[in-house]
Structure 1
Amino acid sequence: MGAATLPAMGVRSDMTLEWQLREVCKEAADDTVHSALAAVLAYMHSGSAGRRREGKELVRLLEAARGAAAAAGEWHVVRLLQDSLDYAQGRILRPDFAERHRLFQDGARSERNRDFVASSLRAMHEWLVAASEAYLRDHPGASAEEVLGHFRAQRADTAFLQAPDDRPGRYVVPRGMAETSLWLERLLGGDRIDVEDPAAQARRIATSPRALALLAADRDGRLILRAAELQRRTAGLRTLQAVVEDPTATEADLQRALRGNHWIFGGRYVGEAARRRLVPGDEVDLPLIRADGALHIVELKRAMGLKRPLIRRHRNAWVPADAVHEAVGQAVNYLVGLDEHRARIRAEFGIETRRAGALVLLGHPGLHPDVPEEEVGETLRTYNAHVTRVEVLTYKELLDNAERSLAAGGEPA
């Protein structure tokens, strides 16, 4: 499906995507994959007046090509097509996409991007020199460590940058706000008060003097915060339920509904990783961090909008259908990439991937109205018992677990 999606952007189809897809064609060996890629390119060129066609059909064709590559075992092509999908849906910006795949006709790196980065660095250093000179004028005997300390404090306070309405074009960094926020974060993150995402709550309260005063004066603050957190979780669950039951909801819709609600997956998870792209070419839908510091990835597929069956009949028994196997194959591919880059990921991001696992969320028993819900769940549980490191779950079962959690006042199992 980390990188932020471009705001208010539909499906993108342009020359950059076409160049990348033609490079993917050169990497593919299987005839089925070539046919699927040819269908993508043919659709792109079927627009009127020479315009490339966009829309959901382009996404569907790209997903079909990715599925064909997975079925053929061409995992390097799967990774390239995942980048194609991410670019088409706005999750990768054009400069990053073009640079990553060297899409310029001469193969050279973009001088325009280089010059932009250079000018930004120059402006930053000019500001740094001017700010250092101003500080030394006010503190003529300051040591190098004192100057560095001054900028460390400024760096922390920039998180609270403000744009006053009465000073157009000017921005203000309120000094000392970071220390107040740190005190609140420690308070909210300690044993005295239970609250979800203490860093975000601390930032919100630190910028509201009225809220800060109320919290400091209220003896029942802990009860109030717990009640607010329960209310937030209930609202988040209702939102997710509505998206799950919407047959038009996309994977991106489901991802938005789940973001910030890692409690739904169980108490063994303590948060979400800040980055979704840990391995070149792979971007996981939802990276969770377990209490032991290990990574657990969640691969999201459609719920009621899944166009293919979850299970099928085989020799008088229900077995997982192709949609399940393809999703599991994609999750396994992610895990292989994490294993191969374990040392770099741990060094750069402090995330342990040796014990990483994956959860595949897809479908809903409602897709099989003629099959008892218990049969659907039992079929997937039997499948899970024979697969290592990957678990398959329907959105209905996830919601049921979370509902029981809220009723019991605890975390999902």
Structure 2
Amino acid sequence: MTTFRAGFTLWNMVKAARELTEQASVLERIDAVLRVMGGFGGTYGKGRPLVNALEDVAQDALLHEDFELAQRFQRFAAYAGGELFLDILEMYYDERARRRSEEHMRRMTAMGADRAVAALDVMCRDRPDATAADARDLFLGIALSVGHLGLGTGDGGIQLSSKEMKWLQKYGHMELLLRNLPRPASVEAASRMMSDALEEADAGMLAQLLELKARRVGLEALRTAVEDSASSESTLHACLKNQEWIFGGAYVAELARRQYTPDAILDIPLLRGDGSLHVVELKRANVEHLVIRPSGHLMLGAPVHHAVSQAQNYLRTLDENRPTILADYGVDTRRASATVVIGHPKYVGASITPQELAETLRTYNTHSTRIEVITYGTLLESAARMLALSSALQDTDSAEEPAA
């Protein structure tokens, strides 16, 4: 059951965000949010209509290529829909709350460093001949051991409180950027060196590095989910949320709204550069009868045809409702296209090679103009190639000498 949220803080954040745009249509949608929320006091419009109104702002901002504002309202919608805690919004958009979080991180870092010193003191006491390599092995062992900790789901499992869940979520949104610095002679020198390093840092390059890191983490999470034979469609969907780059450079962003007609909820709606819609339909990676060989020749099995038929119905509905969708949401759905992601070579029988699977899909796709069928294997491989290319370009740029 969805736990909807709203309140004075969100109302204030929406009002503040209104000052960040001059686009008339975006302002109209923000005003619609404020009308749903009402004035000071009351319930502030808590419920599904508020979530939808916030998502509409995010989508309109995307159409105007204001990605920062779109992300802000996507987070507002996630909070209103019960997916994010208020602490996360405050960390992003409340300066005082962010300073409190930064202070907490500093104290946690100091605590960790203090514990590290204590561990080294014990090792030096017990092993006076210990080397730097021994110290490295000690901390590596600690780091590897942490990976084996778990909460458990059966008897004796731990039920986390809401407060603990908030902290876990907050840590998930934190990024620590560590730089290699010479060893300082004093605490004061260390402080000065860190300040100088941050002042000299290329903000654009740091942003690119963080983006590449986030993409690597996202791709690895998807790979892990795909390799788990029990992963459901919802699990795979969660790994692909807001990861439109995985599908290629033709897509500007993932749209916030997933439902444009009463009878169709899209898995991943992507926006093309020309403002048109592309639909991604997700199925499980572990699919039986993905490819069959009934009479010597390979052909796609029933699960694929079922998924393609589902995508065809989506596209037909979007075509039929194009004027209304364009007027209400600013998205052009005429002749929209679709990608069906289903199956993986590792789950196909041993009698069918990955090459044969790829050739069967290629044969099928050449006869379809609006719907393409790919496997999670193909999706992962193409995304990994794009990521490797981006990393190579980043390395090349950082290695170039500055112009004289």
Between the aligned partners of 2:292 and 2:276, the Cα distance in structure 1 is 34
Partner of 2:71: 200
Partner of 1:405: 386
Partner of 2:357: 376
Gaps of 5+ in 2: 12-26, 45-60, 74-88, 103-194, 393-404
| Compared CA separation, residues 332 and 197, structure 1 to 2 (3 A) | farther
Indicate yes or no: 2:261 matched with 1:298: no
Indicate yes or no: 2:321 matched with 1:341: yes
Q: How does 1:39-58 map to 2 (within 5 A)?
A: none
Q: Which residue, out of 264, 268, 279, partners 1:286?
A: 268
Indicate yes or no: 2:305 matched with 1:325: yes
Indicate yes or no: 2:235 matched with 1:253: yes
TM-score of the superposition, structure 2-length normalised? 0.51
Q: How does 1:11-410 map to 2 (within 5 A)?
A: 199-200=70-71, 206-208=93-95, 219-304=201-286, 306=287, 308-368=288-348, 369-409=350-390
Kindly state the Cα deviation for residue 345 of structure 1 after the two structures are TM-superposed: 0.4
Between the aligned partners of 1:382 and 1:376, the Cα distance in structure 2 is 10
Between the aligned partners of 1:383 and 1:205, the Cα distance in structure 2 is 46
Kindly state the Cα deviation for residue 355 of structure 1 after the two structures are TM-superposed: 2.9
SS for the counterpart of 2:261 is coil
Between the aligned partners of 2:92 and 2:267, the Cα distance in structure 1 is 30
| Compared CA separation, residues 157 and 331, structure 1 to 2 (3 A) | closer
| Compared CA separation, residues 244 and 315, structure 1 to 2 (3 A) | same
What do the CA deviations read for 1:322-364 (whole angstroms, capped 9, x no partner)? 1111110110000000011000000000000113101001011
Between the aligned partners of 1:391 and 1:397, the Cα distance in structure 2 is 12
Partner of 1:108: none
Q: Is contact 1:299–1:358 with CA below 8 Å preserved after alignment? A: yes
Q: Is contact 1:309–1:367 with CA below 8 Å preserved after alignment? A: no
What percentage of residue pairs aligned between the two structures are identical? 40
| Compared CA separation, residues 345 and 315, structure 1 to 2 (3 A) | same
Kindly state the Cα deviation for residue 6 of structure 1 after the two structures are TM-superposed: 3.5
SS for the counterpart of 1:289 is strand
Between the aligned partners of 2:390 and 2:247, the Cα distance in structure 1 is 15
What amino acid is aligned across from residue 322 of structure 2 in structure 1? R
| Compared CA separation, residues 400 and 250, structure 1 to 2 (3 A) | same
Q: Is contact 2:233–2:283 with CA below 8 Å preserved after alignment? A: yes
What do the CA deviations read for 1:256-296 (whole angstroms, capped 9, x no partner)? 11001010000100111121111111111111111111000
Between the aligned partners of 2:325 and 2:207, the Cα distance in structure 1 is 35
Between the aligned partners of 2:390 and 2:69, the Cα distance in structure 1 is 19
Q: Is contact 1:294–1:353 with CA below 8 Å preserved after alignment? A: yes
Across the aligned residues of Structure 1 and Structure 2, the Cα RMSD in angstroms comes to: 4.0
Between the aligned partners of 1:217 and 1:170, the Cα distance in structure 2 is 44
Kindly state the Cα deviation for residue 314 of structure 1 after the two structures are TM-superposed: 3.8
| Compared CA separation, residues 218 and 347, structure 1 to 2 (3 A) | farther
Q: Is contact 2:212–2:391 with CA below 8 Å preserved after alignment? A: no
Partner of 1:41: none
Q: Is contact 2:315–2:335 with CA below 8 Å preserved after alignment? A: no
Kindly state the Cα deviation for residue 366 of structure 1 after the two structures are TM-superposed: 1.1
Give the aligned length: 234
SS for the counterpart of 1:317 is coil
Q: Is contact 1:362–1:395 with CA below 8 Å preserved after alignment? A: yes
| Compared CA separation, residues 410 and 336, structure 1 to 2 (3 A) | farther
TM-score of the superposition, structure 1-length normalised? 0.50
Gaps of 5+ in 1: 8-92, 94-119, 128-150, 162-168, 172-184, 191-195
Between the aligned partners of 1:253 and 1:333, the Cα distance in structure 2 is 24
SS for the counterpart of 1:232 is helix
Q: Is contact 2:319–2:335 with CA below 8 Å preserved after alignment? A: no
What do the CA deviations read for 1:13-35 (whole angstroms, capped 9, x no partner)? xxxxxxxxxxxxxxxxxxxxxxx
SS for the counterpart of 1:356 is strand
SS for the counterpart of 2:298 is strand
Task: Return structure 1 stretches of 4+ with deviation > 4 angstroms.
Answer: 154-158, 196-199, 201-206, 208-211, 214-219
